[in-house]
Amino acid sequence: MAEDNTRRNWTHTQDLQARDAAHHLHSFTDPQVIETQGSRIITRAQGSTVWDSDGNELLDGMAGLWCVNVGYGREELVDAATRQMHELPYYNNHFQSTTPPIIALAEKLATLTPAGLDRFYFGSSGSEANDTIVRMARQYWRIKGQPEKTIFISRTLAYHGTTVAATSLGGMPHMHAMDGTPGPGYSHIDHPHWYLRGDGLTPEEFGLRAARALEERILELGADKVAAFIGEPIQGAGGVIVPPDSYWPEIQRICRKYDILLVADEVICGFGRTGTWFASEQFAIEPDLMPMAKGLSSGYLPISAVAISSRVYDVVSKGGLFAHGYTYSGHPVACAVALANIGIIEREGLVERVGGDIGPYFQSALASLADHPIVGEKRGLGLMAALQLVRDRDSKTMFAPEDNVAIICRDACYAEGLIARAISGSMVLSPPLVVTHSEVDNMVERLGRALDSTAQKFGVL
């Protein structure tokens, strides 16, 4: 396939790398790495495969950034965008206006989201959705006559985006270190990772203990000060942390008992990734607010939505002007593409495919690596999973942070033709929902070889 890359004259790697290093500041990248090693340049993609500027073919084990659910190269989405661009490339939803694609998308979403969530606020990113939620939740309590209920409780290693509010909601120390977030109004409890923090408890016992940390925190802060609890059903960027079954029902009970809004961040989990439309269904979460993005448009255009329960809407709608809005809220082209994307997911039965076929296949294929000498745990659900890397399986001895073991393994994956994500000491995969059985086999083989070479580097194999 390398010859196809000659179609465009911008694919001379060194030239591109030099220009990229000269003028582009990358996300979540050390600029010195770009200046000394150059960037990886992805030029085109089809299905679950991407190509780089050297013509290397790579299986995209991360669906871009956990988002290209329907896979690359969908002409239908190109057509939906083109049609909408011709008809109405832009109009806004401010000052009493709307457009047909917004109406159609909101109506469609109402048929898919869990019961009681049937109104939507649109933005362009998951971060914007979470910022919207912080403002909306505080306004909800203000209108209800409890303006001091402002604090958001979230979790360590949570990821909710990178605006100031979303970074504050998140529980990533290296992100907080950059700008002194979180300021007042945010509080974090420990994340529910049984393998690393179980302390000899059963998963069920540990799940209850981890959830009860929320109750303790609410009592410390005072329930009259707490606006909401926010959590990803499965923590994604924190390393695919799947909570024990006992966790979410207890969180739900505590939120109801103390009259705290419950926010389920479905930005990664939503749109089929875990085998249902939303992971809230599998974990029996009944959210008051539910942000979504990524799989909503499969990443073809930027769009996010906050699903709003009638509990919240009925109050917020009586509070006068809703003084919030992004220029691109409900962008008509993004809405048209999201609608077409949902059409593909439905028509091809992709959610059912993840739940009943490729998800279980993927998890059991990865489980074949669970007894590798440097793998301590395989965790995951549907098409998201992680392998915990350990120096010693029996004593659960971790690699030191400065070993950079996951980065070494990730680079080895790349050399094998697989894009995987290195998160702390874990290797993470989250492929497109259309990934085939043989592509899953190839991913697991490539990851297995990368684990072998990583283990050899550390003298474990």
Residues found near ligand PXG in the complex (CB under 6 A): 65, 125-127, 130, 159-161, 232, 236-237, 265, 267-268, 293, 421
Nearest approach in angstroms of CB 232 to ligand PXG is: 5
* Nearest distance from C-beta of residue 319 to ligand PXG, angstroms: 26
357 DSSP assignment? I
Which residue number, 209 or 410, has a Cβ lying nearer to ligand PXG? 410
* Pick 251 or 460: Cβ nearer ligand PXG: 251
Please identify, using beta-carbon distances, which residue of 28 and 95 lies nearer to ligand PXG: 28
Q: Which residue is nearest to ligand PXG (CB)?
A: 126
Report the nearest approach of ligand PXG to the CB of residue 51 (Å). Answer: 22
Classify residue 6 by its DSSP letter.
Answer: G
Question: Using CA atoms, how far apart are residues 125 and 168, in angstroms rounded to an integer?
Answer: 16
In sequence order, the 6+-apart residues with CB closer than 8 A to the CB of 250 are 207, 208, 211, 212
Name the minimum Å distance from CB 145 to ligand PXG: 31
How far apart are alpha carbons 168 and 166 in whole angstroms?
5
Query: Is 381:362 a contact under the CB 8 Å cutoff?
Result: no
At its nearest, how many Å lie between ligand PXG and the CB of residue 172? 9
Shortest Cβ distance from residue 125 to ligand PXG (Å)? 3
User: Which is nearer to ligand PXG, 258 or 414 (by Cβ)?
Assistant: 414
Alpha helices in 95-161 (DSSP H): 100-112, 126-143
Pick 11 or 61: Cβ nearer ligand PXG: 61
Measured between alpha carbons, how far is 103 from 267 in angstroms, rounded to an integer? 21
How many whole angstroms separate alpha carbon 42 and alpha carbon 57? 10
13 vs 404 by CB, closer to ligand PXG: 404
According to DSSP, the β-strands at 42-46 and 49-52 are: antiparallel
Dihedral pair phi/psi, residue 188, rounded to 5°: -120, 135
Q: Provide, rounded to whole angstroms, the least separation between the CB of residue 174 and ligand PXG.
A: 11
Q: What is the DSSP string of 259-301?
A: T-EEEE--TTTTTTTTSSSSHHHHTT---SEEEE-GGGTTTSS
* 343 dihedral zone (left: phi>0; alpha: psi -120 to 50; beta): alpha
Q: Which is nearer to ligand PXG, 335 or 460 (CB)?
A: 335
